[in-house]
Amino acid sequence: MTTPLTRTAAWQALSAHASSMGATQMKDLFAAQPERFQRFSRSAADILFDFSKNRINDKTLQLLLQLYEEADVAGAKNRMLAGEAINFTENRAVLHMALRAGGKRSYQFGGKEILPDVHQVLEQMARFVAAIHHGERRGFNGKKLTHFVNIGIGGSDLGPHMVCQALKPYAKEGCHVDFVSNVDSSHLVEILKNCRADETLFIVSSKTFTTQETMTNAHSARRWLVAALGSDAAVANHFVAVSTNAQGVAAFGIDTANMFEFWDWVGGRFSLWSAIGLPIALYLGMAQFRELLAGAEAMDEHFITTPAADNLPVILALLGIWYSAFFAARGYAILPYDQYLNRFSAYLQQAEMESNGKQTDYEGQTISDYPTAPIIWGEPGTNGQHAFYQMLHQGTQIIPIDFIATARSHNPLGDHHAILTANVLAQSEALMAGRSLSEAAEQLRQRGYSEDEISRLAPHRVMPGNRPSNTLFIPQLTPRTLGSLIALYEHKIFVQGVIWRINSFDQWGVELGKELAQVILPELQPGNANNPHDASTLGLIAYYRQLQR
Ligand code: G6Q
C-alpha cells in the first residue's frame, strides 16, 4: 500500500536513487570532488553547517529539495505564520516565532496583532527581574532573593533547564537556579536541602496549572516554605506563577499580580521563549534573555526567507528523512562537544520525539510505509566516545549524527579546547573514512604481529566507515548562538512533520498513562478496592501494598 507521501514522484525517485547510492563510499565522493566541503556546507546566524560527510551527491540534494516542494512545506510555513490552527487536533495556532519577533514582522491571531501582548509580558518580566536583582523586591524576612527554583515539567522544565545550564557563564553573580520536575519526592527534597527559605523564590511554571507532578511539587514546596518562615503570608513574597490559567493560579494562593501570562498559541515544548523563560531571565538577566530571543529571531528570518537549497533547517530535516526512509536509520545521535550543552540532547528528545513520534497522518490514516521520528539520544563529547561510540563505528545499523562544536571555550585552559576539537573532528572523519581489512592488517604488520595473529585480529579492527554525520560549528556558545541553534532544530522538526504528514504540535500519546495513573492512585492505599486490571498490574499493586505495611 502506498500513502500520499510515498506516492510522490520525489519519494519514488529517491527510493530508486537510494539503491544506487547504497554502494557509494563517501570517501570516494570526497576524492572525486575536492570542493565537496564548499558544495555541501552552508552558514547562517553564526552557525556553520557542514553536511558534506553524508551519503549524498548533487542529485540526492536535488531530489530531497523536490520532496520539500511536493510536500508544500512552504505553504504549511505560511499557514503557521498566518496564525492558522495548524495544530488541527487541538484547534490551536502555532506562533512561538512571535515570542522572539522584535517587530520586523507582524503576527496576528484571531484578527488581532499579538506582538503588543508579547512585548507587554516581556516588559513585566524585565521589571520583575530588575526588582529582584536590585533587591527592591525581597523575601518575607527582608533578605534578597537569589535562589530561583523552577517547579514545572516537560515543556515547562526542559527548555529553561537546558538553557540555564548552557549559559552558566553568563549567570548573574550570586544567583543560583534549580529545576524540580519529577514527582518523585527525592527530586524536591534534595533541592530543598540546598535552599534557604528566606532567599528562595519559587516559580511555578505550568501552562495549564493542573499538571499533577507540578501541582504536587508546588504544594509541598509551599508547605516547606510556610513551615520554615512561620507564616502563610510569606507565600506572596516567595511564589510567582507562569501560566495561561489565572483561575488555577489564584486557587493555589498566588496573587495574579505575581503571574506571568502566556497564550494558547504557544505549545509547551516551544515555550522557553515566553514567560516560561522567567527562570532564564532571573538567572542571566533580562539583557541576556533578549539576546537569546534575538538569536532565535535571526534563525527564524533565515528559515522564512532563504531558498530551500540554502536553508539550514530544511537541509537538516531532509537529511534526517533520507536516512530514516531509505537507510533504515531508527536512531539519531546529538553529540555536543561543549560541556555546557549537557542537557541539549535531553531537550531535543522531547522536542523531536514528542512532536514527530506519531503514526497517524493528516487524513487520520495509520502510517505504515515510512518511519517518522527516530530515537534521539546523546551525551556530550568526549564522554560518549568512551561509552556508546563503539556502536556508532562498528554496530550493524547506521545512526546519523549531529556533532555540535564550539570554536572558543568559556574556560580556556591549556590545550583542553584543542584536544576537544581534535576529537570531534576525528570522530566525524573516522566514521566517514572507516578502516578497511587491508589497512587494519597493514597496521598490525607494522606493529610486528605474525601473519596468523593478523588474520585472526584484523577483522575485528575493521571499521565499515561511510557513516553519516553533520557538524554544526559555532564560534562560541552565547545567548545569541544558543537561541539560533534551538530555533534551527525547532524549524527542522516542523519541516519533517509536514513532509511526514503528521501534526507535530499535539501530544495525545502521553494521555493514556496519565489517565490510568489517576485510576491506580487510590488503589495503592490498603483497603481500597481494585478496578479491573490485567493480572500483571494487579500483582504489582498487591506487591506495593504489601511493602507499605
Ligand atoms: C509539551 C507538552 C508537555 C507539557 C507538560 C507540562 O509540549 O505539552 O511536555 O509542557 O505536560 O504541562 P503544563 O505546562 O501545563 O504543566
Residue-by-residue DSSP string for 244-306: S-HHHHHHHT--GGGEEE--TTS-GGG-TTTGGGHHHHHHH-HHHHHHHHHHHHHHHHHHHHS
What count of other Cβ atoms lies within 10 Å of the Cβ of residue 162? 26
Q: Given this model, what pLDDT does residue 103 score?
A: 84
> Nearest residue CA, atom 8 of ligand 1?
268
Question: Which residue's entry shows cell 495509520?
Answer: 366
Residue 456 CB partners (closer than 8 Å, separation 6+): none
Q: Is the Cβ–Cβ distance between 83 and 90 less than 8 Å?
A: no
Q: What is the pLDDT of residue 203?
A: 98
Query: Cα angle vertex 307, ends 304, 309, to 5°?
Result: 130
CA of 157 to the centre of ligand 1 (A): 9
Burial of 70-103, coded b for 16+ CB within 10 Å and e otherwise, reads: bbebeebbebbbebeebbeeeebbbbbbbbbbee
Centre of ligand 1 from the C-alpha of residue 430, in Å: 40
Pocket test for ligand 1, best of 92, 94, 205, 208 (most atoms within 8 A of CB): 208
Shortest-distance Cα residue to atom 2 of ligand 1: 268
- Give the pLDDT score at 22: 83
- Cell numbers 530535516 correspond to 317
> Residue whose CA is closest, atom 16 of ligand 1?
206
Nearest alpha carbon, ligand 1 atom 1: 268
* Separation between Cα atoms, residue 156 and residue 267, nearest integer Å: 10
Q: How far is the CA of 208 from the centre of ligand 1 (A)?
A: 8
- What pLDDT, on a 0 to 100 scale, did the predictor assign at position 1? 65
CA 158, CA 486: separation in Å to the nearest integer? 12
Q: Give residue 498 CA to ligand 1 midpoint distance, Å.
A: 22
C-alpha cell at 50: 557542514
Of ligand 1's listed atoms, the one at least distance from the Cα of 243 is 14
The radius of gyration computed from the CA coordinates of the chain, to the nearest angstrom, equals 26
**For residue 270, how far is its CA from the centre of ligand 1 (angstroms)?**
10
- Nearest ligand 1 atom to the CA of 267 is 7
Pairing of strands 401-406, 375-377: unpaired
CA dihedral 445, 450, 452, 457 (to 10 degrees): -50
CB 474 within 8 A of CB 485: yes
**Residue in the structure block whose three cell numbers are 535562589:** 147
CA atoms within 13 A on the CB side of 105: 17
Question: Which residue from 122, 133, 167, 129 is spatially nearest to 274, judged by alpha carbons?
Answer: 122
Region at 414 (left for phi over 0; alpha for psi -120 to 50; beta for the rest): left
Residue 393 near residue 463, CB atoms below 8 Å:
yes
Q: Report which protein residue has its CA nearest ligand 1's atom 10.
A: 155
Task: Quickly count: other Cβ atoms within 10 Å of residue 430's Cβ.
Answer: 16
Q: Please say whether the beta carbons of 480 and 46 come within 8 A.
A: yes
CB 56 within 8 A of CB 26: no
In terms of Cα–Cα distance, which of 434, 404, 435 is closest to 421? 404
- What is the Å distance from ligand 1's center to 435 Cα? 46
Residue pair 356/502 in contact (Cβ under 8 Å)? The answer is: yes
The atom of ligand 1 lying closest to the CA of 154 is 9
CA of 46 relative to ligand 1 center, distance in Å: 31
* Residues designated as active site: 354, 386, 514
Flag whether the pTM goes above 0.85. yes
Q: Which of 269, 353, 504, 506 maximizes ligand 1 atoms within 8 Å of its Cβ, making it the mutation to test the pocket?
A: 269
**What is the C-alpha separation between 139 and 145, in angstroms, rounded?**
6
**CA dist., res. 117 & res. 115, Å (int):** 5
CA-closest residue to ligand 1 atom 11: 154
Instruction: Return the pLDDT at 104.
Output: 85
Ligand 1 binding pocket (C-beta < 6 A) is 153-156, 206-208, 211, 214, 267-269, 354, 507
Closest protein CA for atom 9 of ligand 1: 154
Going from the Cα of 488 to the center of ligand 1, the distance in angstroms, rounded, reads 21
Per-residue pLDDT of the chain (549 residues; tens, 9 = 90+): 688 999 999 999 999 999 999 889 999 999 999 999 999 999 999 999 999 999 999 999 999 999 999 999 999 999 999 999 999 999 999 999 999 999 889 999 999 999 999 999 999 999 999 999 999 999 999 999 999 999 999 999 999 999 999 999 999 999 999 999 999 999 999 999 999 999 999 999 999 999 999 999 999 999 999 999 999 999 999 999 999 999 999 999 999 999 999 999 999 999 999 999 999 999 999 999 999 999 999 999 999 999 999 999 999 999 999 999 999 999 999 999 999 999 999 999 999 999 999 999 999 999 999 999 999 999 999 999 999 999 999 999 999 999 999 999 999 999 999 999 999 999 999 999 999 999 999 999 999 999 999 999 999 999 999 999 999 999 999 999 999 999 999 999 999 999 999 999 999 999 899 899 999 999 999 888 778 999 999 999 999 999 997
Residue among 151, 156, 350 whose CB has most ligand 1 atoms within 8 A, to mutate: 156
Residue 203 near residue 240, CB atoms below 8 Å = yes
Using the CB atoms, write b or e for 185-213: b if 16+ within 10 Å: eebbeebbeebebbbbbbbbbbbebebeb
Opening angle at CA 507, ends 1 and 289, nearest 5: 130
Distance 212 CA to ligand 1 centre (A): 11
Q: What CA dihedral angle connects 293, 280, 270 and 517, to 10 degrees?
A: 180
CA of 99 relative to ligand 1 center, distance in Å: 18
pLDDT given at position 350: 98
